[in-house]
Structure 1
Amino acid sequence: MIATLVQVAKELAHYEGGKRRWNQERVILHRLCESAIKGKEAPKVKVAAIDLATGVVHLEDYKDEERYKYLYALSTGNTAIGPSWLLDFRKTQGKKPKKTREEIIETGIKKIREALTSLQESTSKAKSADLLGDDDWKEKLNKATRDESLVLVTVVQDGKMPGERKEFCEGFIRKKILGERRAEARGTGRCAVCGSEGQVSSAIPFRFFTVEKLGFSPMGREVDLWKYASVCQECAKWLYVAESYLEENLSTKVAGKDTYLVPDLEPGASEVEGSFVRFLWEWRERTKGKAVPQDEFPIEEKGKKARSKKAAGAEEDSLPNLFEGLVEEIDGRFKDKPPFRSASLVFYQPGRKFMFLYTISDILPTNLRRAKGRLAALREILRRDVLGDVGSFPQRLRADFEFVGQAWKWPRRGQTESQGALRFTPMHIAEAILTDRPLPEHEFWQDADSLLRATYQETISSKDQKRTVQSTLAERARLIWAIWALIYRSGLLEGGTNMTTQPITTGQGLTEKFWEDFFRPRLLLNSPARRAAFLVGVLFGRVEWKQRSDRQSKAGEMPIVSRLRGLAVSRKEIMVKIFPELMLKLRQLDANTQAIQAIQQAAADFASQGGELSDEEARFCFCLGWALSWTTVDAVGKTLGAPTGEEAEEASPEGEIEGES
């Protein structure tokens, strides 16, 4: 990984130098300096330049593209590496301010003085740090910055900014690379990146070895790390440059998690027209400061009719996602030449100095093309109402895999200790989709079952009964169904089988072909056992809706729901206990219509064919049938030519969940 990062940093630096018309030294210095713009919502930054010769404070706009001039950077100990310090006067706001303006300015001058002293230790010139000892500077800075919220203070000497003085630049680079505690442990050896012999250290700005297991470090004590991951000073410098590119150019989100996109590039990739390096740079320039409406994703579907934000549940606009953009443009921009040999997604924990949590390696360009095609096919299937009226749900199935993060997380109050921990994380799920390496399906269903039961428990115990158990389970079941299809039915989604829904022919009666046409686009329901559990769920939904209708209630849970025992019923209980009770209830509730009778018969026929089915799969198919109760009954009724109004007594209850998340 460290060799890959060095290569990426060199290619990006070469391209950036050409774009900005800078030499390599300036690009490196620029990348070793930190940006003073902290966060997307940060106020405008001003620069207060203290001219040590004239005693004047000059106030000017901060330019991030010229940050190499200021030599602003902080060590892990929060000390200034260069003679610049960011004054955040927002800390003085509020009823209980953390600091006064005078205290903030005093701290800034102290930090700059310490940095100047450190940088000039090896020179025989008069120490400019001594010129900052005058208390008059505090008053001058306070007066010059009184109307500002964020101010980067730096010093000007002999008319030059810190980054324009060679001795300052050399000292800054040396302190940046070798000034950290990790670089103190060093010795003679071979560089792990370039292979050169000489003095090496563990001057690496990452904790590469904290992977998947918190606190796990297979390399032993940190002070001995240089013996296992040793780098020379030159390669360490490029790793710090790579750190800057990771943050500013290669950071994205996948499955709702902070992620770095690290490509394995061919040598000279920056010179290739249309390469990933060029795409990366142009992507950042194209999307800088822009918000993209949710309805405009995915890119190839912009022309389709978009729902209003109000109808879509007031979804907020989002910043463009780098990984999603790469997937969506993989066919057009990189059709003739792959953008990279392979890529990795490195999930990390923000604020923990790059604590890497998980890495998805060996993502090939062909994988991205296939993922794009599968997502598009799945969205098209869903628009044909195979899972009912799902509203804006298809648009959520995007290449940022945010829907995976939404599906594979515990509800706030639904998890119990008895359910244990999930076997997979959203990162595992995304890896299975992107690398064509399916997860063990039995374990997948165990996780899905735990999530469904937790969702059930949270809803049933909630005092806020605005949503029913049926609608809440339906949303979770649809997400799980979509993920299952992407992992275990990828071949069908790529066009190997016709997934189109067949138009309903009124009055033709139910045949074996009807059920095949009905179940085929629903993918999961491909065995008699699954179909039987699904149809029992359909009947269950009908009974629950009928009880709700008779009570004229849109809140609270109906008596039949208690039979599920917290959604812990087994497959045997579903078929042997619940199924017969539902048939009795439907007669008692005067809901045993022609369509309902046909569904009962089909459920019995499928059940008689037997077949293996785990309890977890049975419960999921049951919940999916519950979610699609109205859709199924309506389709059967139309096929049988049921009298108008017999099956459609009121608006579909499934429509209540449209647009919710």
Structure 2
Amino acid sequence: MLSAVTEIGRLVSQPKVKIEGKIIFIVLGSDLSFKGIELEDFIPEKIDKYLYKHGESKGNRPSPLAPINPKEPEKTFAKIANWFKNSKRTLNLNDQEINITKIDDVFEKEKSIILQELKNQINQIDKKTNKFLSVRISGKYLGDFELFRKIFDFNISQRIGKSSSKNKACSICGEVKNTVSARTYVYQFDTDDKPGFITGFKKENYWKNIPVCQDCRNLLQNGRNFIENKLTFKFYGLKYQLIPKVLLSRSDILKDILEILSDTHKSISLKERIAKRLTNDENEILEYLSEKEDVMTLNFLFLKSQQSAERILLLIEDVFPSRLKTIFDAKRCIDTLFNEEFNFGKVRTFFYKSDQDKRESDLDKYFLEVVDSIFRGQRIDFNFWVKFFMQSIREDFINDNYYLSKTRDAMMCISFFEKLGLINFEEVVMEQNIFDEVFNKYKLLNTPEKRGIFLLGVLTQMLLNKQYSERGSKPFMKKLKSLKMDEKDIKALLSEVHNKLEEYDAFDKGKRLIAQEASKYLLQAGDSWKMPVDEINFYFACGMNMNDEIAKVVYNNPKVQEKTNE
């Protein structure tokens, strides 16, 4: 993956830092006395003057420019003050053009005044605007002074040199370089503070993990800058970096893709052309990439920032464009089958929170496992995932929310998985039935017990609809045991639904036909179904959701009408 990022960095001629916001400067005069506070727009072209190090962790920057936490400006000020304080120990600073000790003293003496003016300035800036803090001396930026440039460069080299070696091969370019280091300082998921991550458990050997030379480190930084600006996409509360990698010597293809993404007008045209998406990001380019030849692969990197580090939630490597095409073909089939747009948001519905009262998502792990299986083409365990479907459906059912919509989403997911071959429902030979048109569309209804449970769900929803139309309530829902019914409950329920429909004088010929078919299938299924409770209730809920479709077969089909009139 790092070699792919490096190649992108090599092809991007002018990497840009895409940051918008304001910089608040602590202004010092030529005599280094405090002169006040000044405000300026963050101008990316001036990052060298700011001594800005893009991609560094927030907690340990080698840069004298720090993002401001409006709630704790004192901490931001302390970071800047500490940068100067630590600089006194960085180099031999005798006879330098600026007396850093004097700056340190001014910050100590004027701290309360500086903080008060800093807070006043923060309050005048819109809360949504990014804010940074730095220092300007005698009208100049710190990067205008050779002294501070030396300190800045030295700090970076010192950090890199903590785990490095001389005259060793770089893991990216393969060349023997004067110095290589294991810390990329571009991605923050490499760490040298945990022995378990270090070769031989010795910190001095950490460079052996991912030795990187300074040239490749610079290219890595350029590549990540571009990826963050152009190839980072939203993913239902998460984000992923899309990292293309070319095979053989086809860097021209990668270059074409990067040029399209770099050119604003081309990007807008691409955005308008892509009508179908798998995610909720309107800038998604996966359909465009699915049309490419298999001379490149795609890496999907899901990262999560945690304080001063980054954690890899999921890395999906080497996905071919042909795999993307297979996924989009399956999506189009499901769109047509359900007459509704399918995307990964349908999956996320069931893998977001285990409890709606939770403040944050706690099911990211399972959601990403499903995503991983989809892109890799790996089989999934239907019985395991159906638990999550039913957990969410039950919650809406118990609270009398619109559980039918949730059930439809679950059916779309299962049908999508089946279309991709992640789940297989073995076909069982059964005699022809008036509902074969429906059963053939939804492959999961492949055994007598599943069909019987499904049709009973249809009939039950028809009863609930009748109750609601006449009474404004659905008291029969109590009989459904919060959708935790077992085999015995299902078999007993059929006669109860029958009797209740008779009470409402609603057991017409169409419903009678549905009841007959449900009874026939349940009898064929026999006893001792090898089916968990969650699965039983899933098929029942599917029937409740599809009651309109079955009703069309019963009441709008002339052949079926003839059968009901016999």
Partner of 2:351: 408
- State which of 519, 522, 525 in structure 2 corresponds to 1:607: 522
- State which of 284, 291, 302 in structure 2 corresponds to 1:347: 302
Q: CA RMSD in A?
A: 4.5
Residues 4-43 of structure 1 deviation map (CA, whole Å, 9 limit, x = unaligned)? 32442343353232xxxxxxxxx5xx76xxx764xxxxxx
- State which of 480, 500, 512 in structure 1 corresponds to 2:410: 480
Q: Distance in 1 between matches of 2:190 and 2:76?
A: 39
Pair 1:457–1:232, CA change in 2 (3 A) = closer
TM alignment of 1:178-197, pairs within 5 A: 178-179=158-159, 184-187=162-165, 190-195=169-174, 196=176
The alpha-carbon deviation at position 77 of structure 1 amounts to: 7.4
Q: Distance in 1 between matches of 2:224 and 2:263?
A: 20
Aligned residues: 525
1:357 counterpart = 2:313: yes
1:445 counterpart = 2:383: yes
The alpha-carbon deviation at position 61 of structure 1 amounts to: 2.6
CA contact (8 A) 1:209 1:219 kept: no
The alpha-carbon deviation at position 63 of structure 1 amounts to: 1.3
TM alignment of 1:183-582, pairs within 5 A: 184-187=162-165, 190-195=169-174, 196=176, 199-205=179-185, 206=187, 208=189, 217=197, 221=201, 223=203, 226=206, 228-234=208-214, 235-254=216-235, 256-266=237-247, 271-272=252-253, 275-282=256-263, 286=267, 299-300=274-275, 320-322=281-283, 325-330=284-289, 334-335=291-292, 337=293, 341-352=296-307, 353-383=309-339, 394-395=340-341, 397-398=342-343, 401-412=344-355, 425-439=366-380, 443-453=381-391, 455-457=393-395, 459-460=397-398, 462=399, 467=401, 471-472=402-403, 474-490=404-420, 512=432, 514-553=434-473, 558=475, 560-571=476-487, 573-574=489-490, 576-582=491-497
Name the SS of the counterpart of 2:317 in structure 1: strand
Q: Distance in 2 between matches of 1:105 and 1:434?
A: 42
Pair 1:459–1:518, CA change in 2 (3 A) = closer
Look up the equivalent residue of 1:534 and give its one-letter code: F
Look up the equivalent residue of 1:349 and give its one-letter code: K
CA contact (8 A) 2:485 2:536 kept: no
CA contact (8 A) 1:327 1:369 kept: no
Normalising by structure 1, what TM-score?
A: 0.66
Look up the equivalent residue of 1:630 and give its one-letter code: D
Residues 453-494 of structure 1 deviation map (CA, whole Å, 9 limit, x = unaligned)? 45425652x5xx5x2xxx32x2332222222222212379xx
Look up the equivalent residue of 2:377 and give its one-letter code: D
Pair 1:216–1:477, CA change in 2 (3 A) = farther
The alpha-carbon deviation at position 60 of structure 1 amounts to: 3.6
The alpha-carbon deviation at position 301 of structure 1 amounts to: 6.2
Look up the equivalent residue of 2:305 and give its one-letter code: P
CA contact (8 A) 2:64 2:80 kept: no
Residues 153-180 of structure 1 deviation map (CA, whole Å, 9 limit, x = unaligned)? 34357x8644456675565345235427
CA contact (8 A) 1:52 1:131 kept: no
The alpha-carbon deviation at position 70 of structure 1 amounts to: 0.9
Pair 1:408–1:140, CA change in 2 (3 A) = closer
Q: Distance in 1 between matches of 2:4 and 2:560?
A: 68
Q: Distance in 2 between matches of 1:254 and 1:237?
A: 29
Partner of 1:125: 96
Pair 1:85–1:601, CA change in 2 (3 A) = closer
Look up the equivalent residue of 2:301 and give its one-letter code: V
Could you tell which deviates more after superposition, 73-82 or 620-629? Answer: 73-82
Q: Distance in 1 between matches of 2:195 and 2:468?
A: 52
Name the SS of the counterpart of 2:505 in structure 1: coil
Q: Distance in 2 between matches of 1:241 and 1:49?
A: 30
1:624 counterpart = 2:542: yes
CA contact (8 A) 1:535 1:599 kept: yes
Residues 355-381 of structure 1 deviation map (CA, whole Å, 9 limit, x = unaligned)? 112222221111112222222232222
What are structure 2's unaligned runs of at least 5 residues? Answer: 423-430
Could you tell which deviates more after superposition, 582-591 or 607-616? Answer: 607-616
Partner of 2:64: 83
Q: Distance in 1 between matches of 2:489 and 2:522?
A: 13
Normalising by structure 2, what TM-score?
A: 0.76
Partner of 1:11: 8
Pair 1:587–1:409, CA change in 2 (3 A) = same
Residues 415-442 of structure 1 deviation map (CA, whole Å, 9 limit, x = unaligned)? 9xxxxx9897111211222222221xxx
Residues 506-554 of structure 1 deviation map (CA, whole Å, 9 limit, x = unaligned)? xxxxx9474222333334334443222210111111223333344332x
Pair 1:582–1:379, CA change in 2 (3 A) = same
Partner of 1:596: 511
CA contact (8 A) 2:448 2:522 kept: yes
The alpha-carbon deviation at position 120 of structure 1 amounts to: 5.4
The alpha-carbon deviation at position 247 of structure 1 amounts to: 3.6
Q: Distance in 2 between matches of 1:477 and 1:156?
A: 64
Name the SS of the counterpart of 2:556 in structure 1: helix
Percentage of matched positions with identical amino acids: 18
Q: Distance in 1 between matches of 2:178 and 2:86?
A: 29
Q: Distance in 2 between matches of 1:191 and 1:372?
A: 39
CA contact (8 A) 2:67 2:76 kept: no
Q: Distance in 2 between matches of 1:431 and 1:105?
A: 39
Pair 1:524–1:65, CA change in 2 (3 A) = farther
Name the SS of the counterpart of 2:372 in structure 1: helix
The alpha-carbon deviation at position 452 of structure 1 amounts to: 0.9
Q: Distance in 2 between matches of 1:627 and 1:362?
A: 38
Look up the equivalent residue of 1:114 and give its one-letter code: K
Look up the equivalent residue of 1:406 and give its one-letter code: T
Q: Distance in 2 between matches of 1:514 and 1:642?
A: 7
Pair 1:280–1:266, CA change in 2 (3 A) = farther
